[in-house]
Structure formats: structure tokens, C-alpha cells
Structure 1
Amino acid sequence: MKISLITVGKIKEKYLKDAIAEYSKRLSKYCKLEIIEVVDEKTPDQASEVVENGIRAKEAERIMKYIKEDSYVVTLEIQGKMLSSEELASKIDQLGIQGKSHITFVIGGSIGLGEAVLKRSDFALSFSKMTFPHQLMRVILLEQIYRSYRINFSEPYHK
């Protein structure tokens, strides 16, 4: 299985880079992982809805360049469906059984995802009703994907 993670913005903090590297290394046993960072747009304070829509559209254009036609796309959205770790593991397992060999997870920028990406999404996933920094969300998502593989292979880790 190939897992792509498309994210808006770069990671600046060393501790987050270290965590991402650790989970990337752990995941290499189970899947081919690629992490793609697209440039984020600067959002002015008190930006109007029109300005924010324009920013989301520019970021969406960058994201869409990396989404392969045959990939199953999972977008991270506050209004998405919340799954337990076991349910996410089952979803990843079922996609493989159904012949999907590529899953793309998309984490938007600070003001969310553009309409083009939302329309392309096959599944909207929510980790919480709370908002998390997208840099931290990358670590959380990688950990949950790793946990999913450990669950699916009946290996110790998941509690």
C-alpha cells in the first residue's frame, strides 16, 4: 500500500520534525509513505471571506497537482466523520481488500481546504471538533496510521 500525505505549509519545529521522522521510519515496515508539502498562502488578519476563499483556492490548486487519479482521498475536516483507532484500521484494511493500493490523506492550511479538494475527497475524517495546528496534526495522523497497521497485523502497541 502506498500512503501519501499532502500538507499545506512547512514544519519549522525540530521536535515535530523528529516525531514525523520517527513515525515515517516505523511506517516503512508496512507501507510506502510519501509526504508532500505545498506552499501555504499568507492570510492577512481580519481577511474577508472573499480573500479567504481565494487563499483556499490557491492552496487547493497546489494540492490537486499531487492527487493521483486512482488514489482514495481522505481529507481531514472538522465536520468529517470521527472514527476510533480500530475503525480507522478497519477502513485502511478494507480499502486494501477492495483493491485500493494508494491512499492520500490531505491536511489543509490554517483556514481549511479549498472547494476543489473537498469535491475530490472520498472520505472526510475528523479527529475532533477542536482545531489543531496543522503541523501537530501531521504527527497525530502519522501516529494513527502507524497504530492502524499495528492493529491490522495484530502486533502489540495498541492499548
Structure 2
Amino acid sequence: MQISIIAIGKMAKGPEKSLLETYCKRLPWKIDVLEFEMKKKAANVAEQKAQEAEKLLAAVPDGAMVIALDERGKALTSRGLAEQVDRWQMEGVRDIAFIIGGADGLDETIRQKAHLKLAFGTLTWPHMLVRAMLAEQVYRVWSILHGHPYHRD
């Protein structure tokens, strides 16, 4: 399985980056973190989100299942996410791309292309922390699918 975390904004050194790197190293699946800075600000929010969407979607590997992190998305349990990934693997899916938008959220084009819209609850999370939380959940998915003891069972 190839995992891509595709996000707007670059992480600086700090605890969030350290945690992200820790989970990426633990994960036996190949994982890439692709970050994009938007150097030129758009005239308005809609234009900004459209420009971000263009960058984000261009980085999605061909044939990848797209999971958009969206506060209006589905709130899955870790086991539920693992079951979805397992179904995709059984269907022959080899790539999953998680998309994290900028401060103003995701453009509608990303929501439309997403195979799954995933929420990490209704709270607002710092985008840099979300990357670390996501990497931990991907590692947890791998652990569940490979029969490691899961404390919720």
C-alpha cells in the first residue's frame, strides 16, 4: 500500500513534525508527505481554495483513492477506517491519497473527487497537528489489519 498525505502549508521543526515523522517511520507501508506553499495570495477565498485544489489534486497518484479531510465528512472509528482500507485493498487499490486543505478549507472540486470525506470530529484542529494525527491513524489502520492487539476489542 502506498499512502500520500497531501497538504497545503509546510511544517516547520517542532513537536508536530517530530510526531509525524515517528509514525511515518513505524509504518511498513510506503508513505509520502507532500506539502505545498501558496506563495501568491488570491484575490478572494474562493479563488484561493480553487488554486489550492489545483495543486493538491495534481499531486494525487493516478488511480488513488482520495480521502478528503473535511469537518463535514464522515466520522469513522479507527476500526471503520481500517475496514474501508481493507475493502479497497481487496479490490486491488494500491494507493490512498489523504488531502488536507488550507486555512479556509477545501474547494468543492476536491469534495467531489473524494471517495471518502473524513472528519476528525467537529472541533477545529491545527493543520500541522492533523498531519501527525492522520499518520497515527494510518499506522493504527495498518496495525488493525495485521492482527496486532487493539485496545478497543
Question: Do both share a fold (TM > 0.5)?
Answer: yes
Indicate yes or no: 2:150 matched with 1:152: no
Q: Indicate the residue corresponding to 1:57 in structure 2.
A: 50
Query: What letter matches 1:139 in structure 2?
Result: A
TM-score norm. by structure 2 comes to 0.92
Instruction: Provide closer, same or farther for how the CA distance between residues 118 and 41 of structure 1 changes in structure 2, counting only shifts above 3 A.
Output: farther
Mapped partners of 2:151, 2:82: distance in 1 = 11
Q: Indicate the residue corresponding to 1:102 in structure 2.
A: 95
CA contact (8 A) 1:5 1:34 kept: yes
Runs of 4+ in structure 1 over 3 Å off: 40-44, 156-159
Instruction: Provide closer, same or farther for how the CA distance between residues 36 and 57 of structure 1 changes in structure 2, counting only shifts above 3 A.
Output: same
Mapped partners of 1:128, 1:43: distance in 2 = 29
TM-score norm. by structure 1 comes to 0.89
Is the partner of 2:104 in helix, strand or coil?
coil
CA contact (8 A) 1:41 1:55 kept: no
How far apart are residue 68 of structure 1 and its match?
2.5
Gaps of 5+ in 2: none
CA contact (8 A) 1:147 1:158 kept: no
Is the partner of 2:44 in helix, strand or coil?
helix
Mapped partners of 2:151, 2:141: distance in 1 = 9
Query: What letter matches 2:108 in structure 1?
Result: E
CA contact (8 A) 2:8 2:101 kept: yes
Q: Indicate the residue corresponding to 2:65 in structure 1.
A: 72
Is the partner of 1:110 in helix, strand or coil?
coil
Query: What letter matches 2:113 in structure 1?
Result: R
Indicate yes or no: 2:112 matched with 1:119: yes
Q: Indicate the residue corresponding to 1:47 in structure 2.
A: none
Q: Indicate the residue corresponding to 2:36 in structure 1.
A: 38
Is the partner of 1:150 in helix, strand or coil?
helix
- CA offsets per residue over residues 68-104 of structure 1, 9 Å max, x none? 3311100000110110111011111111011111110
**Identical aligned pairs, as a percentage?**
34
Mapped partners of 2:73, 2:66: distance in 1 = 13
Mapped partners of 2:8, 2:38: distance in 1 = 5
